[in-house]
Structure 1
Amino acid sequence: MKLYLPLVLAGAALLTGCKGLNDDYQEKAEENDKQIQAYITSNGLTPTKSVSGIYYQLGGTTSGRKPQVGEQVRYTYSLMQLNNQIVDTTFKTKVASGTWGLNFSRDNGALLEGLSLMGVGGTNIVLSPHSRAYGSQQYVDSTGKVILPSYSAVRYDIKMLRVLNEAEQIEEYTMSKQLNVTETTSDGLRYIRITEGTGAQLTTGKTATVRYRGQLLNGTKFDESPVAGLPFTVGVSSTISGFNQALQKMKVGGKAIVILPSAIAYGTRGRLNDAQNAYTIPPYAPILFELEILSAN
């Protein structure tokens, strides 16, 4: 069942700090806590209560690798009310992912805190009051049926599958696409030559006409030149350092795929689309360009 939620679910955390609403939120959170304790007893659980007010019970592998800031986390989870009403099982079998250290889109405090307590191979049952979950929001399914009333306590069942740093993400991508990496530089650029080209070598100061396409490793396109290409002054144009570095490895007529770690791309800041208030390139994201050098002078 797919849960229809807004893109940002930080409302509960923000509203709990608003004067005039705090008392109501706190009262309902206390009611949730009593509901959770009754649920624990009736289901024979033995969780630990965190400072924030969630209850968690770890299982599976307890010594697995834990994520560090900037690493990709892959996990599965399901969400239900404490009356066992299923709310969301979209990611019970489908893998969810996010960059550690960022507030994953569509996630909330309880889920993120639950993940923070785990390592790879671990499981976690998380019981959360509304104040760490979906607050006053009420959610419906595609038919309009209410599947999560306002101020609901919820249960997450989480499993952490993998943690990958950028080098591991790039390695996974090149292997899955069966790409033969021609060169790996000291700063992590992967250069995959498709066609060497027979024209002049690009050097600093040359103006090259480049046809290109830029994408994330999940295939999401973030930029593309016209078919006729765009001009770049090699080593001078105000573009990301990895792009300039890649051009200097190419000749006119050459084609290549280059994969750039974030340190020589958009780094820890990413690239934000201000109009949509969303990242076109997330922080810590390795990116890929398909390049073709059409001409140079």
Structure 2
Amino acid sequence: MKKFFFTIFVSGITIASFAQTKKPVAKKPLAASKPATTTAVLKSSLDSVSYAFGSSIGASLKTTGLSTMNYDVLLKGLKDAFAGGKVALTQQQAQECINEAITKASAVKNKAEAEANKIKFAPMIKEGQTFLDENKKRAGVQTTASGLQYEVLIPGNGVKPSSASDSVLVHYKGTLLNGQQFDSSYDRGEPISFPLNRVIPGWTEGVQLMPAGSKYKFFIPYNLAYGERGAGADIPPYSTLIFEIELLKVNGK
């Protein structure tokens, strides 16, 4: 699991934040006639700097995806560490708590974003699936077990990549279903070399089918391309992609 180190930097001073293990205590909602006062009263420069540090820590914590804290225990941990007193958790234990909390919060956040995107981009998902369903009926189009579709434009008689760890030299052009081009080595005037295990799954699988000297057209479902996140401003989430790839050379391992 990726290790997260949560450290907040404010005006050149480093503050280590400590996680807590107790569940937050539910508070009764305030009556409508007595709204809570949210503005702190800052009577001195010490009040101001204290509040500044607190709000900065809170803003940084919020960016991790955490939705709430036991603020009393958070303040206790801050006081213990700042005053040099005995702390309830060792540095390692505190870091483990932080890692676990951030990992869980990130998973919940990512899942929620993915579900929202799936609803938002439902028409694009349907468009891609409809295209692939019709495209596989065309003469010359072949479909692999993963759902990758390809068409041989120019057959070749050279060697094929022996594994996903092979590096290859290719020319290519990539477009969306509407024909909009998002990338082309032809336009840049030079081919590109890369290991097959460092590209999207559709390329990793597809280029291994090609002998050197051939040119294939690939129709790549979103799950074998850039998935639910897309890529940059040019490739939206859940995009089915079309690539024309010319395999110039297999460089080997």
TM-score bin, normalised by smaller chain: 0.3 to 0.5
* TM-score normalised over the length of structure 1: 0.40
* TM-score normalised over the length of structure 2: 0.47
Name whichever structure is richer in helix by fraction: 2
Name whichever structure is richer in strand by fraction: 1
**Rg: which structure is higher?**
2
